[in-house]
Chains A and B, each alone.
Chain A
Amino acid sequence: MKRLATVAVLSMLGISGAFPAADAIAQRRALMHDDGIAAKKLFDMAKGTVPFNLAVVQASLKTLATGAEKTPLLFPDDSKTGGGTAALPAIWENKADFDARFAKFNKDVAEAIAKTKDEASFKAIAPQVFENCSGCHERYKAKSN
Chain B
Amino acid sequence: MKRLSFILVSLLLASGALLWWVSSPKARFSSLEWRSLGISGDPTRGSRMFFAGGCDSCHATPGQSDPLRLGGGLELQTPFGSFYPPNISSDRVDGIGSWREVDLANALLSGVSPQGQHYYPAFPYTSYQRMKPSDVADLFAFLRTLPPVQGRPPVHHLSFPFSVRRAVGLWKLLFFDNSGLAPDPEQSPEWKLGRYLVEGSGHCEECHTPRNFLGATKQALKLGGAPVLDGRGNAPNLTAAGLADWTKADIVEALTSGFTPDGDVLGGGMTSVVRNLARLPQSDREAIAAYIKSLPPIGGPVRRNP
Contact = CB atoms under 8 A, between A and B. Distances in A.
B276 to A, nearest CB: 13
Contact of B268 (A36, A130, A138): A138
Interface string B194-207: 00000000000000
A133 B258 contact: yes
A49 to B, nearest CB: 9
Interface in A16-52: 35-41, 43
Interface residue tally of chain A, by bracket? 20 to 34
Interface residue tally of chain B, by bracket? 20 to 34
Nearest to B304: A144
A3 interface: no
Q: Is the interface of B mostly helix, strand, loop or mixed?
A: loop
Q: Is the interface of A mostly helix, strand, loop or mixed?
A: helix
Given A88-B232, A134-B271, A142 B263 contact: no
A3 to B, nearest CB: 33
Contacts, number: 80
A43 B232 contact: no
Contacts of B225: 145
A115 interface: no
Interface string B276-306: 0000000000000000000000000111111
A91 interface: no
Contact of A144 (B233, B259, B272): B233
Contact of A35 (B228, B263, B270): B263
B265 A134 contact: yes
Interface of A: 35-41, 43, 81-82, 84, 86, 88, 130, 133-134, 136-138, 141-145
A-B pairs, top 3 by smallest CB distance, nearest first, are A137-B267, A40-B263, A142-B233
